[in-house]
Structure formats: C-alpha cells, structure tokens
Structure 1
C-alpha cells in the first residue's frame, strides 16, 4: 500500500467523512509548522465527552448481588491463598504454566481498559455503585494517547511539528518533566515497562503515519486529524480481528458481529461501561501475568513487580524488546502468557507501594484481594447466576476447587471457567460473552468508529501477512528503531 493510497482511502481520510458536520476550520500558527485544526472541530472533541463523567451500568440488572464475607475474600487473595500461584509453582512443570498466546496480549488488554475506563473510587468504604463515574469516554478512541490534542494538550506534542507526538531524547521513552514524571495522556500507562513500551509504540506509529500522509501530499492542516483516525481505526480493527479472536474465539466474535449483542447493545451515543465487564471479566489479564519476563534476547529474567515498576525514566539498558512478548516477523517466537487458572503471580499478590500507594490493610497489596473486594463493593452477581442466565452449565465444585458458600465471585469464576472451558488459553462462555459484547457494543455505539461509519472498511497500512494485525502496528511504530 503506497502513501498515496493511504491518503485517498476513506478510513484514512476522516475530514471528508465529516465535511457535512463542519464547514471550515481556522489554521493556527504553532512552532515552525501549521498546527492541527482547532480541537473544537476535531473528530474526538472534548465537548463530545460526557458532562461530568460517564456512568457505569449493569449488563445483567435482574441478577441479585452475590454478597460475600470480605474476610473470606481476603483470605482467598492473600499470600498463601487460593489465588496465589506461588503455592502451586513448585509442583508445576514450568512449561505447563504457559498459555498458547504471546505474553504481550494481556498488556494490550490493559491499555484497552485504560482507554475506556478510569474509575478513581476507593476499593472499600461506602461506595454507591450507582454513583460511580467513569472519567473516560466509553469509546475505543485512543483518548489515553491523544488527550485533548495539540491545542488542548500541547505538552504532548512537538512544538516544531505539532501533528506529531513529542518523545524522549532518543525516542525510547516518553518526554518527562525535571522530576521524571511522564508527560503522557494517561499516567497509568507509565505504571510498568510493558504498558509504557506499548504506549510508546502507539505514539511512534502515529508519527510514522504522519510521515506517510505527508509523502502522499496531504495538506498540513489536515494531517493530525487524518493520522489520528487512521491509527484509531487500525487499533479498533486489531481489537475486533486480532485481540478478541485470541481471547474469546473467532466463532463468538463473528456471532456478535453478525447478530449484535444479546445482553449489551447500547444505542448510538449512549454507551456505558457494565460493572460486570469492568470489575470482573476484563480483569482476566491479571491471571495471564507471567512469574518472570526476559526483556531482551539473552538477558536475565525478572518479575513484573518490583523490578519493572514505572513512574520514572527508562534506562537505555532496561528497555523492552517487543519481540520478547509479541510474535513479530523475522523473530523467534515470543514468551507466552501465563495460563488462566485462577492464580496470580507472586509479584501481583504483593504489589509495591509505588503501585498501590499507602494502604491501611496489608491485604490490599494483593491484586487478587483488590479484584475480589471490588466485585463485592460493586454488588456483582455470582458467576453461577450469570452462567445460568446465559444458558451455560455452571462450573462444578471440583472445577472451582474452592467452597464458596453463597456462590462464586464473578471475577474468580471467569478465571476458573477459562481454565476448564477454555483450556487456560481463552475465556469461557461467561467471560467471553461479556468481553466480546461490550467491546464490540462500545464501538457500535460510537458514531465515529469504523464499525459505525464503514463496517466493511479494511486496514490500509502495510501488513506482513494477509490481514493487518498487532505485529504490523508494532513493526510500524518501531520500524528501524532498536528497542533494547
């Protein structure tokens, strides 16, 4: 695909698709180049965000809350509990702990979560689930990357070329202030090396798209909008056609695309985030974090925390080669994700204070405890209740390997369902249905997503194989740039 083709395809040329909505735009001088059009005319305007903050909602409003003794939840999630993978690690053949998919996919899932949700309410303490607010627009629109664009968030962009993101001095880190704090669209993407490296790859992909559009002769005043929608639509395509099939299976994805959501199908412009998704199903990735990672070929292996915690400059000798966690063309197979089995790696059972902040109860350092308590606080139903509603045979007591007197917390149920109904590689009927319907439903409710505007659209950026995928996006972002 040539640069000229990129400029002329409708999915890569958003301004023409919106000509009916805006009549003209005033160019603004900024640095040595013309800035992007005023953000009030951007495809993702701040005015289009929810007033206040977006509400959460319920996917299965007719189901009663489970309600579990918090002490039981904490015992399950702390060091030595049923969610602690270290308990079984000594007796487990290391190769049996590897899943089929590459180790980077749960981190991509984390970026998707950051793109559509930002809930800053406490874990415990009188939170009314109906009063929860989402600080993100419930759209897969890369708001975590672009924030308010070159006009509203100029510190993210290159003053000499505001259509491009500003990177660190050698392009291997984001720009930081004098205290090392990241200048970034979402500070959560600086929490550890994997999220940060993927964030940088997206920044670099945007900048490369800007170059390609210029090569195609696109006027500077249109470059930023065209580059943004090009990257956003390719990202959305990856979610639908690469990420979801690996996570829930191609058959379910095709069914939801063809028939729509049975349980989640918000009208256009009325999207919300179901609590069953945010506080249970889409926390599946915590169970896919490996015990240790190799950052570069031949390097030593280290756990995610505390070794790879972020919130500071990334040393040149501590960077991640993305070929270590994604299968990229011309490289050996990457490390694999951990199998889904209801257990979390030790580095997540004892999170460092840089991640959790100061806690009153030591148990809150466990991500498993936080996930279990979160589901209880937001009054989620049991996994068995959701399974019965969906027409799926609930897991047996033997499959759950834990006695939950009133029913199984939805988050834990989904992980065990993945172990027994998805061979540890993908989500089962309950988790898969929730995730597939929500992600596809959010895109269909977004009036400027490719699924809404051009559902038959096809990617037009270069692809190594027959279909554009995550590997192509990462290759574009780090084309010719050493990552380690």
Structure 2
C-alpha cells in the first residue's frame, strides 16, 4: 500500500456541550462549507410550533406511547445495535455545525468545523506534532490511553483528551473511539513486526487505519444501511446528485440535517453492557463527559456481531419514533435550554431542518423518480409536506422494513459518503480503487468485526 501524505488543518480545541443551544459558531478548520444536494427545490416551511408538538413528549415521534403494545425486543431490527453509533462516529468525522439550533445563522453562512473527508480527523486531530497531548510521550507513534487502557486520558478535572469531545458524549461513542485508538496502536506493532522503518511507522499506521475504516464504510456499513445493490450501483455508475470535484467537497444539508440523522431512530430503549448485565437507557445512565469507571465498560461484542460470540443486541427498528431517553435528553448533553421541548432530540432534528430550509420529503421523492409515501404510511397529514428527516424515517419503516433506509434516504446517504471519498485524493477509493484490506480477516471479507478483534482483543492479549 502506498503512503500518500495527509494534511491536517488546525482548529480551536474547546470543551463544548454536544448539543448546546448557546454555543457560538466556531471558526472552521478551512474553507469547508455546507451546501445543497438539490438546490432547485424550495424550502418546505413548517410552523415551528407544529414541529415542536410532533417531536415532544407524547408526540408522534415519541416511542414511549407504543412501548406497552410491544413484546420484549418487539421493535428489534435485523442489524446489530452498534451500527448507528458507528454512523454517529462517521458524522462526527465529516461534519460539525456549531450554529445554534434556534437559527440566527443563514444556511449560506454556515461553516463546517470538520474537513469533509472520511479521514479520522476525530481520532488523529493534528497528529503527534500539533496535538502531542493525544500521544504517548515515550512512543509518539502510539496514542496515549487511560491508566488501564479502557478510557481515553483525561485532565485533572476529568475532561477527555480526545480528538473530538463529541465522542465523549456517551459510553458507545467513547468505546468506539477507544477501540480505534487500540487498533492504531496494534497496527503500529504490526508494522514494526513487518520491518517498516521507524520514521514511516506513524504515517503508515494512520493511513492503514484510515483506509480500513473507509473500506468498512463502503463495504460493511453502507450495504447494511442502504442495501448492497444501491452501493454497487453507485460505485459502478457514479453519483448522479452529489459528485463534487476533487478537493471541492462539501456537506449537503439534506444529508447532515435529515438523512444522516436516521440513527436517532435506531437507538434502543435499553442496553446491556456485558453478558447478563442490567438493561440501561442511553440517557441519563450512559451519558459521558467524565471518567469511565472500570465497572461501567462496554463489551463491544454486546453491540457488534463477532465470530465466536453470541449474537449482539439489535438496533431498534426505524419507524419515526425515538426512545424516551432521546425525547428527554439530560442537561449534560443539551446545556441549559429555554424550553423543555429543546430537550427532545426529535424536536431538535425537526427544527434543524426548518432553520436550514430543507425541502419536503415528497418533493425530493418526486425529483428522484420515487412514488411518495401516502398519508397512511406517514401516520398523519402534514399541511404542506413532510419534514425531510421524519419522511426518511417513515420511508425506512415502509420501504425498508424498518431495517434500512428507503430509496430517498438511501440515495442521499450512499451518494454523499461515496462522493466524499471520491473527492478526497488521499482516500483509498481515489488513490487505489482496487486496494483491499491487509489486516487479518476472520470471515469471507474484512469488516467491523475484524477491526474490533484485531485492535481490542489482540492489544489486550
């Protein structure tokens, strides 16, 4: 595998609430912006009060109202529970909109505080030179870990020393982040064992992990989320709606503020962290932003299927409803809010689409040549059209059996992620499109289970 150079832009590092309403717009890392995937479509324009009622406690987005009608695990999906958290990690890697949810910043003025590349900036930040606090002083080719290897290092106040503080928001994002640190460190050992010169070890390890991560996005994550046939079609035929030239990538608002927020609908009501452990809701029980005690660690085989282990817990079916822990987010996540409705992630998702002027789901569907959902499928009639985020969730319920995105959501997600890789001259898909993973494989093809097995299990052996 060749070793292209990667440029890491500088940025201002600051502790911030993941969803705070009062944070200011950060300076971007570069010229990264948001844009429109469908620029010819008009904004929907929905009464914010209607959106707040829909997303609040007891509204149509609240799953608690139907829980008593379900058997245990009655809304389980096909795929494992860890995949929406992997999707969140991808989102953190490529986009960071620091504008307040209540608006005040025009869509054309929004800046992305992340480079729009799947380059693990959330992990590597500015590298051993620009971000030395992330790396082991005695072996700067490796990441520094917490004292027992199960957490990231933290300062004396418990604040994570991490490439992106959003990855400390809850146990699952933090556990995946730590798994990536272990994988990088194990790759360093692996490269040294294979005779790579010491001067090249860090860069080679970074590229190796980044390319294997990109491979997982294309060949493991996306087929589960949008279907293998759509992924194969986009790879073979190219992107019709999102094909930025090299080094001119941007993040479409239809992706960032609607389609790629699908994962909020896949969060389970409760999770086990270990075999026979108690069932805990994501919030407030598993909230982050503090040291991770040894008795509150996640066995990742509980949320990802790994050979030799029992099947993992499954993600929640996508049906337009969010678990109660997301309808009432804790203050550690939201910061102080002016209205109780802002504690609901559904309200935030609906309002974000309104403030950034997204078109209706029906309008996008017609543009793509797809028959729109009916009022019966949507569960209610929206006066002028359905908010794109909610439409994509209901489309997944009725056109994807609750297991994967439908034709509108799937098209947006597949084209954006593959389009970003093609616009990045350092990605494997641009530089060596025939490249294949070099790390050990336990099954028929390299995937997330192999990365977890290689990084966590071997690093702790």
Is the CA contact 1:121–1:127 (under 8 Å) kept in the aligned structure 2?
yes
Is the CA contact 2:9–2:29 (under 8 Å) kept in the aligned structure 1?
no
Query: What's 1:240 paired with?
Result: 218
Query: What's 2:369 paired with?
Result: 391
Deviation string for 1:397-446 (max 9, x for gaps)? 00000120000000000000000000000000000000000000000000
2:119 maps to 1:141: yes
Q: CA deviation at 1:44?
A: 2.8
Structure 2 length-normalised TM:
0.95
Task: Pick from 44, 58, 63 the counterpart of residue 7 of structure 2.
Answer: 44
Is the CA contact 1:107–1:285 (under 8 Å) kept in the aligned structure 2?
yes
Distance 1:167 1:47, change over 3 A: closer
Is the CA contact 2:186–2:459 (under 8 Å) kept in the aligned structure 1?
no
Is the CA contact 2:118–2:421 (under 8 Å) kept in the aligned structure 1?
yes
Query: What's 2:383 paired with?
Result: 405
Query: For 1:196 and 1:374, how far apart are their aligned partners in 2?
Result: 25
Q: CA deviation at 1:482?
A: 6.8
Query: What's 2:168 paired with?
Result: 190
| Rg larger in structure | 1
2:48 maps to 1:65: no
Is the CA contact 2:8–2:125 (under 8 Å) kept in the aligned structure 1?
no
Aligned-partner SS, 2:397: helix
Query: For 2:128 and 2:323, how far apart are their aligned partners in 1?
Result: 40
Question: CA RMSD for the aligned pairs?
Answer: 1.4
Is the CA contact 1:99–1:336 (under 8 Å) kept in the aligned structure 2?
yes
Aligned-partner SS, 1:261: coil
Query: For 1:125 and 1:212, how far apart are their aligned partners in 2?
Result: 48
Is the CA contact 1:53–1:136 (under 8 Å) kept in the aligned structure 2?
no
Q: CA deviation at 1:217?
A: 1.2
Query: For 1:137 and 1:455, how far apart are their aligned partners in 2?
Result: 21
Query: For 2:9 and 2:357, how far apart are their aligned partners in 1?
Result: 32
Task: Pick from 244, 265, 271 the counterpart of residue 243 of structure 2.
Answer: 265
Task: Pick from 61, 70, 74 the counterpart of residue 83 of structure 1.
Answer: 61
- Residues 200-215 of structure 1 mapped to structure 2, 5 A cutoff: 200-215=178-193
Q: CA deviation at 1:46?
A: 2.5
Q: CA deviation at 1:481?
A: 6.2
Query: What's 2:321 paired with?
Result: 343
Structure 1: stretches of 5+ with no match in the other structure: 1-9, 19-41
Query: What's 2:86 paired with?
Result: 108
Is the CA contact 2:270–2:281 (under 8 Å) kept in the aligned structure 1?
yes
User: Aligned residues, how many?
Assistant: 446
2:283 maps to 1:283: no
Distance 1:51 1:350, change over 3 A: closer
